[in-house]
Amino acid sequence: MVEDVPPTSWSEQGVVAFFERLYGPACVYSCVCVGQTAHTDLQAPARAAAHLIQINTGPATAFVTLRSAERCTEAQQVVLSHTSGWRVSEAPEPRDLIWSNVVKPRGMTELHQKIGLAATVVCVLFWSVPVTLIQAWANVESLSKWVPAVHDLRGWSPTLYALITSYLPVLALMGLQALLPYFFAAMARSYEGHKTRSGVERVVLNRCFNYQLASLYVTVLSGSLWDSLTQILDQPSQVVEILARALPKANVYFLSFVLARACVGLPLLLLRPEILLPTCRSSGPDAKIHCAYGYEASSIAIVLVIGITYSFIAPAILPACAVYFAVATLTYRWLFTHVYDAEFDGSGIFWYDLFNCVLLGLLLSTLSLIGLALLYGSYTQLVFLVPLPLLVVYLALRCWGRLGWKSRWTALEDAVRADQDEGSALSGFQENLYAEPSPG
């Protein structure tokens, strides 16, 4: 997939000619250009303004298939030209592409993605406002003002009253978090212009995880993220002490959160109550059902982070996490075998984000453990625990430095070996595979 093609070369003949100058005649098997003709008459300020209002200002994307796997690997990992442009990356499979965004120039999509990222970072600082409001509304005392019968429930059924008191705030928070993936997916697809479905799901995964983590942070500290951040910046040495004092107080809440995920969240995936809504009913027996990878992966990651964080503070949460993952294993095996249809092949790209989530959870858990040792442990215990966060950071750097970047590329020797197989990589390949589908 080639982006940022110079306007002077924006045509199938121009793109083919560029690669033939590099790799020799007949090196290109097929070339498909998707986009609009460049508006070369626009000045730089006009192009910047056009980007903000989502006007295409130049060429978009070209799909080039080379006859040699070796040349293809080289083109992705080297600088092709002294001129600007010619961004080459591995093309996703056609069903992973969002064709309405493929025609958008890379400069415009990168600008919108930066704006979208900045907006989500700013909003997460004030995420405590809706979380605090919904927690207050979900309180039984507040609910009894609207429904007086709730207050009489204690005398009628103490067990049911205790159940509502414990789980209602958790269910309310889960309901608020369930709205996030729809907003993030719409933003990533419509405004930011991500060109692949897997890219949109990765945005949903990372942002949902961060917002869920922020929700838990607000619940633990019972305050504003902005106020807490200001306090931490003023007195950075107290961040461990803040976590150490606040986390043990919320262990019952998080135990209820994990059990609610296992006993309510996962069964709802099997029951699929959304089909009862007229706007969400399937169009027929052959309608396909796809997995919401971003939201589901972030939900699993946040439970894992909670389990790691509270494994030393409140070990009783570990059996609850074990129940959750046991139910999740059976649930997702059933769904992927009998319910979900394959929408795209992400080539394992989600594992990078999940690995970062696990590292973050491990880092938070070690900091919390050090805080507990600082408050309640001995000096010797504190000395032995201090290196733990440093070891987590070292593990992250080592994994990404030695293995992470290598796993993102195809080794040149593997590409050469593929070329020696008499061109089998192109057997059955269609030249119009990446042709833009018709609107009908």
**Residue 192's closest CA among 106, 121, 95?**
106
Whole-number pLDDT of residue 66: 86
**Residue given tokens 């907006």 in the structure block:** 119
Query: Identity (one letter) of the amino acid at 435?
Result: A
Q: What are phi and psi of 279, to 5 degrees?
A: -80, -10
Whole-number pLDDT of residue 50: 33
**Residue 55's closest CA among 39, 77, 79?**
39
Whole-number pLDDT of residue 48: 40
Identify the bridge partners of residue 65 per DSSP, sorted by sequence position: 30
* Euclidean distance between CA atoms 363 and 390, whole angstroms: 9
Report which secondary-structure segment, H or E, holds 176.
Answer: helix 158-178
Q: Is 356 exposed, middle or buried, given 0-12, 13-18 or 19+ CB atoms closer than 10 A?
A: middle
Angle at 400 between CA 397 and CA 402, to 5 degrees: 95
Q: What are phi and psi of 34, to 5 degrees?
A: -125, 115
* Euclidean distance between CA atoms 148 and 192, whole angstroms: 46
> Over the range 199-226, which residues count as b (16 or more CB within 10 Å of their CB) and which as e?
bbbbbbbbbbbbbbbbbbbbbbbeebbe
Whole-number pLDDT of residue 324: 93
**Residue 363's closest CA among 317, 394, 319?**
394
* Euclidean distance between CA atoms 81 and 213, whole angstroms: 43
Residues 6+ apart with CB under 8 A from 437: 99
Report which secondary-structure segment, H or E, holds 32.
Answer: strand 28-34
Q: Is 377 exposed, middle or buried, given 0-12, 13-18 or 19+ CB atoms closer than 10 A?
A: middle
pLDDT in tens, the chain (440 residues): 888 888 888 888 888 888 888 888 888 888 888 875 444 443 444 334 333 333 344 567 888 888 888 888 888 888 888 877 788 888 888 888 888 888 888 888 888 899 988 988 888 777 767 766 666 655 555 556 666 666 666 667 676 666 666 666 666 777 777 788 888 999 999 888 898 999 999 999 999 888 888 777 665 655 444 455 555 556 655 655 655 566 666 677 778 778 888 888 888 888 876 665 555 544 555 677 888 888 889 889 989 988 888 887 778 888 999 999 999 999 999 999 888 888 888 888 888 999 998 888 888 788 878 877 877 778 888 888 889 889 999 999 998 888 888 888 888 888 888 777 755 556 666 767 777 676 55
Whole-number pLDDT of residue 40: 40
**Residue 368's closest CA among 220, 208, 209, 214?**
220
**Residue 293's closest CA among 225, 216, 345, 359?**
345
Whole-number pLDDT of residue 338: 87
Q: At what angle do helices 128-137 and 158-178 cross, to 10 degrees?
A: 160
User: Is the pTM of the predicted complex or chain greater than 0.95?
Assistant: no
Whether the Cβ atoms of residue 86 and residue 4 lie closer than 8 Å to each other: yes
Angle at 91 between CA 354 and CA 296, to 5 degrees: 25
Q: What are phi and psi of 310, to 5 degrees?
A: -95, 5
Identify the bridge partners of residue 28 per DSSP, sorted by sequence position: 66
Whole-number pLDDT of residue 330: 93
**Residue 5's closest CA among 68, 65, 83?**
83
* Euclidean distance between CA atoms 412 and 405, whole angstroms: 14
Whole-number pLDDT of residue 54: 36
Rg of the chain's alpha carbons, rounded to an integer?
A: 26
Structure tokens at 71: 């040349």
**Residue 7's closest CA among 94, 80, 119, 105?**
105
SS3 131: helix
